[in-house]
Structure 1
Amino acid sequence: MKLSTHHQWLFAIALLPGLSACGKDAPNISQATNAAEAITVENPRIRATAPGQVVSAAFMILNNHSPTPHVLTSATFADASLVEIHETRMQGNVMQMQEVGKVDIPANGSAELKPGSFHIMLMGLKQPQVSGTQAEITLSFSDNSQQTVTAAIADITE
């Protein structure tokens, strides 16, 4: 059956309300009221451990979708007795790791936690972190908001 141009337009107009409703439930991250709402976490992962190893690290990219800078101030991980934010940097000819206590996430920007740079140190692990599994880590921000993410446990060799 061939529709006339008039009928094609009526059909298209009839579809518009339904199509415009498709995105109504999607969160509007640009109107976020706190860091946990404004920040999306990309590629969260935890370094797998060998038997008996009690230290690991978590890595991820924190993307800030708001015009306000935010600060990651701490994290919690159920399988660790101590969690700290660290940075690895060169001190002369020696690579050193030190606790920094925070990571700044610029407005409309991102901060990458990666090997050899900022990372979340997981110490006093209560059980091995097995590659191919997942674990939750909770991120806390300077505005007291929190976000829990599921991180893949993986063999990270860098």
Structure 2
Amino acid sequence: MERQMTCKSLALAAAFTLTAGFSLAEDITVGTLVLKDPYAFETAKTARAGGAFVRIVNTGSDPDRLLDVRADYPKVQVHETIEKDGIARMQPAGEIDIPAGGMIELKPGGYHIMFMGLKGAQRFSVGETVEATLVFEQAGEVTIDFPVRKRTGGKADMGQMGTMEQGNNASN
């Protein structure tokens, strides 16, 4: 029995260790919003664009809205991925509503923060962080460090979008 418990404990510890790297960032609270698990994917050496992602939970009884994202990069926008006729395209999303008691997730293949015009040292490398300020209608501004993760290679992986051109610049 004791040996079984030791094996179970070791297996549990190993599972925790393997998944711990995916949620190292602490939750960030601004007003009634809680920002969870911010991250960005590493970009290729020739990439001109990169993406950042975060879950935004509204714990309040009133809706809020993500109005803008600012960062020290040539062009930064909130984008959404739209699929039409079997082709996925990205376009500026404009403002994003966050319902009272609800959540939105900025994730690969959906809403995301797009950094465009990347050159040289602006590209994202594992172990670094990407800083951006999110501007909310009710909660105000919050600056977040997005830890850069290794690309997963999945279908919706934003790290491979280096030469893709996106729509109009709504913010800087």
Q: Percent identity?
A: 33
Cα distance in 1, alignment partners of residues 151 and 34 from structure 2: 22
Q: Does 1:73 align with 2:67?
A: yes
Which structure's relative contact order is higher, taking Cα pairs within 8 Å and 6+ residues apart? 2
Kindly name which structure, 1 or 2, has the bigger radius of gyration based on alpha carbons.
1
Q: Once superposed, what is the RMSD of the aligned Cα atoms?
A: 1.6
Counterpart residue number, 2:166: none
5+ residue gaps, structure 2, are 1-28, 155-172
Per the normalisation by structure 1, the TM-score is 0.72
Matches of residues 139-158 of structure 1 in structure 2 within 5 Å? 139-143=134-138, 145-157=140-152, 158=154
For residues 33-72 of structure 1, the C-alpha deviation after alignment (integer angstroms, 9 at most, x for no partner) is xxx3111110101121121312001101001111111111
What is the identity, as a one-letter code, of the residue corresponding to 1:154? R
Cα distance in 2, alignment partners of residues 136 and 64 from structure 1: 22
Cα distance in 2, alignment partners of residues 154 and 112 from structure 1: 17
Residue in structure 2 matching 1:42, options 31, 36, 45: 36
Q: Does 1:91 align with 2:105?
A: no
Displacement of 1:144 in angstroms is 7.6
Cα distance in 1, alignment partners of residues 60 and 145 from structure 2: 23
State the aligned residue count. Answer: 123
Per the normalisation by structure 2, the TM-score is 0.66
Higher strand content, 1 or 2: 1
Counterpart residue number, 2:20: none
What is the identity, as a one-letter code, of the residue corresponding to 2:130? A
Asked if the contact 1:41/1:149 (under 8 Å) is kept, the reply is no
Cα distance in 2, alignment partners of residues 74 and 47 from structure 1: 21
5+ residue gaps, structure 1, are 1-28, 30-35
